[in-house]
A and B are shown apart, each in its own frame.
Chain A
Amino acid sequence: MPLPGPLRNLFRSGVSESVENGTPPLKPARPISRGGGESISTRPSRGLEEFFNYIRDQAGLTILDLGPATQQNVSFITNLGHRLYSEDFLRILKETFGEDVPLEEQLNPGRIDYFLRQSLDYPEGHFDGVLVWDVLEYLAPALLAAVVERLHHIVRPRSYMLAFFHSDDKLEAAPRYTFRIQEINLLQVASNGMRRPAQLFNNRSLEKLFGRYESVKFFLTREQLREVIVKV
């Protein structure tokens, strides 16, 4: 039985690979402007809901947010009784490697080491969850492998990470997103300008990327973003 609009979208976003392959990618709710102005839309997120299902019944967890600090995310996480760490990952990436520089710059082992010390210098098993958002798409293979390895080290076993990846494998540039948590299953997505991803992933390459992790679960969403819950 067909459901009304919002609910239909919610169920569409909650399916995994088998349905994803049979469903054409959904168009974004609103066209994303390529100009300088910020475009904002709100959409349901099954990945976020799944992530919070794991952390909301416990208090005093330590959560790492790799996006820029926003009032909404800070309030939401801390109101659940958790401690929040904020690392503006892409800003540190830009400060370390520069903007619009060749991706070869991200292959330098010294620079990679410096970047990890700047952004993810935490003890083993320090975090109980990570909001990765879409930052991993902007890392060249060598840097990405090092980051994924470091995340595995600093996140407590059997904890969860939420990451986003574009599902369009011919994408040349992606909007610069800021994700703000509105509700447990609702995200406000603000986009401002465009950025070229370093790599694009399909489900198989994501499973390979997180090969050391215990499990990877996919949700196809609106705006051609694949939501991924990774269990450490």
Chain B
Amino acid sequence: MWNKQRREEEPAKPYAPSVSVPAPTAVTPAETKKETTTVSSMPSRSYDSDKSGGSATIGKAVKINGQIHSKEDLYVDGDVEGTVECPEHKLTIGPNGTVHATVKAREVVALGTIQGNVEAADRIEIRKDAKLVGDIRTARIVIEDGAYFKGSIDIVKPEPAKAAMARPQAATPAPAHSPAAAGASDKR
């Protein structure tokens, strides 16, 4: 009975297959790019990220030279030179991605190559086979064995207000969240 009522309230929709289709709004207005190539979408990703729905994707055949400012999660599998900013969102550099840029994001996941300084307010993950050359400022860091990192790491505690806004559930200081960090602290 309840379901029937809801169905009646819903506007009529055209038939859509159950297979998930990449979001058509792959390009955010905030993104700046010089090439005419359209930004491609990647329907499936092999990495185990939390797919939160709306995210922009720069496909592996795309090269961007300039400034990117994203107001949604961003997946870069192409080449980017310049600056990349997603201050309140997650930036993922895919396995084919090459970023020669200063990077600022709430969260950074590197599976490809980053050359430049990285500021990740919440956390950064450098996955196996990723390469990062640059200085990192972040609250938490995860480095998988096999990743290449050259540079410095500054662990900065997030300001309580900002941290609460960014991730309401995770209010405790960051390093304790990392399993290895927690293990080290416990042992000491």
Contact = CB atoms under 8 A, between A and B. Distances in A.
Nearest to B152: A85
Given A79-B175, A88-B148, A74 B188 contact: no
B145 A78 contact: no
A86 B126 CA distance: 14
Contacts, number: 63
A74 B141 contact: yes
A184 B148 contact: no
Contacts of B148: 68-69, 88, 91
A69 B149 contact: yes
- Size class of the contact patch on chain B: 20 to 34
A182 interface: yes
Interface string B25-45: 000000000000000000000
- Size class of the contact patch on chain A: 20 to 34
Interface string B148-187: 1111111100000000000000000001001011001101
A195 to B, nearest CB: 18
A182 to B, nearest CB: 7
A179 B113 CA distance: 25
Contacts of B154: 83
Q: Which of B149, B154, B175, B185 has the most CB of A within 10 A?
A: B149
A85 B181 CA distance: 17
A143 interface: no
B147 interface: yes
Interface string A119-145: 000000000000000000000000000
A228 interface: no
B153 A83 contact: yes
Given A79-B175, A182-B187, A183-B188, A72 B149 contact: no
A87 interface: yes
Interface string A77-94: 011000111111001100
Q: Which of B126, B147, B155, B188 has the most CB of A within 10 A?
A: B155
A201 interface: no
Nearest to B138: A78
Contacts of B185: 79
B61 interface: no
A183 B187 contact: yes
A69 B150 CA distance: 8
Nearest to A178: B145
Contacts of A69: 126, 143, 147-149
Contacts of B145: 70-71, 178
B180 A71 contact: yes
B62 to A, nearest CB: 28
Contacts of A79: 175, 181, 184-185
Contacts of A78: 141, 153, 155, 175, 181
A53 interface: no
Contacts of A33: none
Given A74-B141, A75-B180, A78-B155, A86 B187 contact: no
A88 B115 CA distance: 16
Contacts of A62: 152
A75 B153 contact: no
Nearest to A183: B187
A76 interface: yes
5 contacts: A71-B180, A75-B175, A79-B185, A85-B153, A182-B187
Interface of B: 126, 141-145, 147-155, 175, 178, 180-181, 184-185, 187-188
Interface of A: 62, 68-72, 74-76, 78-79, 83-88, 91-92, 178, 181-184
Given A74-B141, A85-B152, 14 more contacts: A69-B148, A69-B149, A70-B145, A71-B142, A72-B184, A75-B178, A75-B180, A83-B153, A84-B152, A88-B149, A88-B150, A91-B148, A92-B150, A183-B188
